[in-house]
Every structure is written in C-alpha cells, then in structure tokens.
Amino acid sequence: MAERLKVHVDPDKCQGHARCKALAPELFELDEYGNAHEAGDGTVPPGLEDKAWLAKSNCPEIAIDVTEE
C-alpha cells in the first residue's frame, strides 16, 4: 500500500502562473487573483499521485511541496 500524499502551496512563493491548476485541477484551487492553494487539506486522492508530482515539477516558483504521510 503506497503512502498517502499531501500537496501544499506556499502562498508567499506562488505568483499565479496557474500551472498546477492546469495540470492537476482536482488538487488545486485559484483565488480571485489567480493565485493557487491546495484543495481542501491537500490530501491527494488515490490515483492522482502522478498529477501531484507533475504539478510540483512544473511550478516555476518552486512553491509546491508534496509530502508523504
């Protein structure tokens, strides 16, 4: 059984490139300015692990953390 993943966006680093929302719309939400935050508490539902890593590795500001619980 794989570890459960959690995503987190550092609001001080996010500049609203919105790459995470394009690549993993289930895991991220945008505010009225287009800046991102994780959906809910950031828990990655089973099957979306790849998308979590993809979002992290395409963030130009290195604002996304993926942690294993």
Partner 1 sequence: MSDVSQPAAHPPVTDWVHDFDHTDPQWTDDPFPIWDELRAASPVVHTKRFLGCYLPTTYEAVREIANDTEHFSSRRIIVRDVRPEVARNAAPPITSDPPVHKPAKQLLLPPFTPDAMKKLEPRVRAICNELIDGFIAEKSVDAAARYTKHIPVRAIAHMLGIPEGDSDLFVNWIHMILELGIKDESKLLQAAQEMSAYFSAHIEARKTKPTNDLISYLMNARDKEGNPLEDSHVLGSLRLLLIAGIDTTWSAIGSSLWHLAKTPADRERLIAEPGLIPTAVEELLRAYSPVTMAREVVKETTISGCPVKAGNMVLLSFPAANRDPRMFPDADKVVIDRRENRHAAFGLGIHRCVGSNLARMEMQVALEEWLKRIPDFALDPAGTVTWSQGTVRGPRQLPFLLGKAM
Q: What is the phi/psi pair of residue 36, to 5°?
A: -100, 150
Q: For partner 1, which stretch binds (CB under 8 A), given 1-9, 31-39, 41-49?
A: 31-39
The one among 1, 33, 40, 47 contacting partner 1 by CB under 8 A: 33
The reply to whether 18 sits near partner 1 by the rule CB under 8 A is yes
Region label for 45, one of left (φ > 0), alpha (ψ between -120 and 50) or beta (otherwise): beta
Q: For partner 1, which stretch binds (CB under 8 A), given 2-10, 39-47, 58-66?
A: 58-66
- Residues interacting with partner 1, by CB under 8 A? 15-18, 21-22, 30, 32-34, 54, 57-62
